[in-house]
Each structure stands twice: as C-alpha cells, then as structure tokens.
C-alpha cells in the first residue's frame, strides 16, 4: 500500500509540474464527456416528455375530431360529378349530417376490440356562483372520458348511470374552477350556473399536472379549467345539433354562417390491441365516409403512432450525438497516449534513477498509469460541468426538455477514468521496460 501511495503522489507531482499541457491533453475528454452528458440529458428529457404525453392521451386510442368540410380544392371535377345527384334539372352536392353519436355506435358495432368510447360536446359559456363570473368550457361527456384521459376524482364521485339516463343537471368541476369559485368551502352539493342551467356539483377532479408545451403539442385543453356534465344532459339542456338539417346550413338566426353542424365535437375510441390501430383507423374512415355521403368533414388521428415516430426520430438524433461523443472520447484518448509517450521520452533519466534506487517495473507502470488517469479525470470533471451547463442552456433557450441524472454523471466519470486507464497502458509499459543502465546514460 505504501508503494502504491508513493507512486500516486509522484504522479500528482508529475501532472502538477505540467498543468497547461495536462489541461490541453484533456480537452478531447472534456468535449467527449460534455457531449455524453448533454446527449443523455436530451434523451432522458425526450423520453420523459413522450411518457408525459402518453399519459395525457392514453394508449391505444383513435381520436375523431369534427371539422368543416373542405370546399373546392379537395374534390376533382370527376369526383364532384360522381358524388352529385340531379334533381329537377339542378345538380346538388351531397350533404353530411356531421359527426353524431350514431356514428360512434356504428363504429363500436363494426370495429372489434373496442374497450372504451368517449364522446365530447364542448360548450363555450359563462359560469356564475356567488356573484363571481368566469368564462368556461362546459364539456358533455361520459365516465369513459375520465378513464381515457387518466383523470382521477379528488372529491365526490363520477357520474351515476341515472345521471346520464335522465339527463340530470349535475357536474364535475376541474381544480381551477374549485379554486376560483370555492376557495374556502366544500363545492360538493353546491349549485353553479353554467350558461342558463343550474348544475349541482357532484365531484372535483384531481389537479392534472402537465407542461404547457405538451398540452400545445397534443392539442389538449387544460382540464383543470373545465366543467364536465353528462353527455345526455348536454344534448337535452343545451343544444342538440342532430336536429340541424341541410336547409339550415349556411344561415342562422342572425344571418351568420352556421359553421358547426356536428352533434358531437370529438370522440375517442380505445382498442384492446395497439397492433390494430392502423387497420381500425382505416375501417373507421370508411364507415364515416359512407355515413357522411363521401364528404370528409372529420379528422382521424392516432396519437400513439405519431409519438412512436417522434421517439424513433429522437433515438436517431441520440445515436448521432453518441457517435460524436464517442469520436471525441477516442480522439481524447489518443491525445493522452501521445502526450504520455512523449512524456516517457522526456523523463528517461528520471525512470533510470528510480529503477537504480530499487523501484520495480510495476512502480513505473503505476506512476504513468496514475498520470494518465489523472489527466483523463481532469477532462472528465471539466466535461461534466460543461455538459450540465450545456444541457441547462439548451433547455432554456432551445426549449428542448432535458433531464440530468446522477447515473449519466457517474457513467461519464467512469468512462473518463477508463479511457485514461486504457490509453495509459502502452506508455506505462514502455516506460517500465526501459533498461535502467541505458536510461541513466541518456542526456
């Protein structure tokens, strides 16, 4: 142990005697380790971001959004002629009834493996309680909506089947609604006015914590600001657009264009097997196209497949970064070996003196190995600091999520030490194999 410690301190003296050369030698390790830290931070951040988005949208889901019919540039003249009908000498374009609950029933009947279904009707209105007024979104939906969106109840309960069946005036409020209207009292059982209807609060959702970036990327509302009512209640007590016919489209009471003729605004279909998502989305598209008279006034999305593609792109990016980091570390290791070989040639007489005074070959090997590892660790520590700073700068200015873990720091530190050890072996062995007599004779 004493011999090891003696060689250890000799190596420290050797590195301290050439500080600038040691630092310049370690630059390759600095950039390599910094690249590793940054790469792992970006990779971990992207993975957490994707997992957060998966929690927000659920898994194995197909989303159907109601949309306006594309006019003019979607259909060619042949397609328009094929889908048009002639009545009393005039050409009439087929009319779509819009996205309806009956469409969702047809999809559930035709598509196998459906586990949950959620329909949504979003009503822009104002909510009033105890003299306070707030603009809100009143969302008509079912209990499956909360399961599909991983929303938990904090107080009270979800909808009872009787609420849905009878169209009762009950609601579940988001956490921000509770904080605004009921900061110091229990909201359960209270009556809150949504538009022209008084609703009895039966539940409060737990707060949904999600980054604004994830919400914006996925096009998801902040459910903490919403009020939820049974779907049948929304149709009975507010507006059932299934009663809108073709003659109503294009004008309203105020002679304004009547844009939204869909009975429901959105539907989410969850399948049992993720492998069937593409096939099921194709079947759903055909069903809706047939039921909507070949007019595409809806959008079908498969968020999980989009996220998987995003993850593959991120993994490719991480591989490129890993290659760059590996090249930097390799160059740094070669630099260490080169400088250590030059150091051996400069210190031939020192090696000869040590050998003549009783030092073993193992002592010489340890001394030069320690020096190589020290130089590598200097680069490793500096690279870790630069990598952490770089990851935080990227997160702040490039708006790319980064997560710095202790594991990535330990791996980088270990890689730096290993490189010093591997690339220091050759110079150390060459120093140890010198003939001490010839070494003492050298100038």
Under 8 Å CB-to-CB from 309, ≥6 apart: which residues?
none
333-352 burial string, b = 16+ CB within 10 Å, else e?
bebbbebbeebbeebbebbb
From residue 69, how far is each of 158, 161, 230, 239, 289 by CA, in Å?
35, 35, 28, 21, 12
Lowest mean pLDDT segment, chosen from 65-79, 114-128, 309-323, 344-358: 65-79
**For residue 204, pLDDT beyond 90:** yes
For residue 70, pLDDT beyond 60: no
- Mean pLDDT value across the chain: 77
Token pair for 245: 């016919």
Strand 226-230 relative to strand 132-141: parallel, antiparallel, unpaired?
Answer: parallel
Residues in the chain: 443
Three-class secondary structure of residue 114 per DSSP = strand
Mean pLDDT in residue range 179-193: 91
- Which of 110, 102, 95 is CA-nearest to residue 293? 95
Residue 225 to residue 214: CA distance in whole angstroms? 16
Residue 53: pLDDT band (50, 70, 90) is low
What digits encode the pLDDT tens for the residues 346-401?
A: 667 777 777 677 777 777 777 777 777 888 888 888 888 888 888 888 878 766 77
Q: In this predicted model, which residue has the larger pLDDT, 225 or 6? A: 225
Looking at per-residue pLDDT, the higher value among 374 and 256 belongs to: 374
Phi, psi of 182 (to 5 degrees): -130, 60
Q: Is residue 38 exposed (0-12), middle (13-18) or buried (19+ Cβ within 10 Å)?
A: buried
Nearest-angstrom CA–CA distance, 237 and 76: 41
Task: Examine the pLDDT at 420 and tell me if it is beyond 80.
Answer: no
Chain segment 89-102, per-residue pLDDT in tens: 444 556 778 888 89
Whether the full predicted model's pTM is greater than 0.85, yes or no, is no
Q: Report pLDDT for 22.
A: 75
């Amino acid at each position: 142990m004493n011999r090891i410690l003696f060689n250890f301190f000799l190596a420290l003296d050797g590195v301290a005697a050439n500080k600038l050369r040691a630092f310049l030698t370690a630059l390759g390790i600095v950039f390599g380790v910094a690249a590793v830290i940054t790469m792992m931070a970006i990779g971990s951040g992207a993975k957490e971001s994707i997992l957060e988005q998966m929690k927000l949208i659920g898994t194995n889901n197909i989303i159907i959004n109601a949309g306006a019919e594309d006019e003019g540039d979607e259909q060619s003249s042949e397609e328009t002629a094929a889908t048009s009908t002639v009545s009393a000498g005039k050409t009439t374009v087929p009319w779509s009834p819009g996205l309806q609950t009956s469409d969702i029933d047809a999809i559930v009947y035709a598509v196998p493996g459906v586990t949950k279904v959620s329909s949504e009707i979003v009503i822009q209105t104002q909510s009033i309680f105890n003299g306070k007024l707030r603009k809100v979104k009143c969302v008509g939906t079912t209990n499956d909506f909360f399961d599909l969106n991983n929303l938990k109840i904090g107080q009270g309960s979800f909808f009872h089947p009787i609420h849905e069946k009878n169209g009762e005036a009950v609601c579940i409020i988001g956490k921000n609604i509770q904080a605004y209207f009921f900061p110091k009292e229990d909201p359960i059982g209270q009556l809150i006015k949504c538009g022209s209807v008084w609703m009895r609060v039966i539940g409060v959702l737990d707060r949904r914590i999600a980054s604004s970036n994830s919400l914006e990327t996925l096009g998801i509302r902040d459910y903490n600001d919403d009020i939820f009512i049974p779907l049948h209640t929304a149709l009975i007590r507010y507006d059932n657009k299934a009663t809108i016919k073709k003659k109503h489209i294009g004008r309203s009471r105020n002679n304004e264009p009547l844009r939204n003729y869909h009975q429901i605004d959105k539907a989410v279909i969850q399948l049992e097997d993720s492998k069937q998502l593409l096939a099921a989305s194709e079947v759903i598209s055909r069903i809706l196209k047939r039921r909507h008279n070949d007019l595409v006034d809806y959008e079908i999305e498969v968020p999980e497949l989009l996220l998987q593609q995003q993850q593959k792109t991120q993994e490719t990016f991480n591989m490129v970064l890993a290659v760059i980091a590996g090249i930097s570390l390799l160059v740094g290791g070669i630099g260490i070996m080169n400088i250590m070989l030059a150091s051996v040639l400069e210190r031939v007489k020192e090696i000869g003196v040590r050998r003549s005074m009783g030092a073993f070959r193992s002592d010489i090997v340890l001394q030069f190995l320690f020096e190589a590892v020290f130089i590598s660790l200097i680069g490793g520590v500096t690279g870790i600091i630069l990598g952490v700073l770089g990851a935080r700068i990227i997160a702040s200015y490039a708006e790319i999520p980064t997560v710095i873990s202790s594991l990535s720091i330990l791996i980088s530190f270990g890689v730096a030490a290993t490189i010093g050890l591997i690339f220091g072996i050759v110079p150390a062995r060459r120093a140890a194999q010198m003939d001490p007599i010839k070494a003492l004779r050298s100038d």
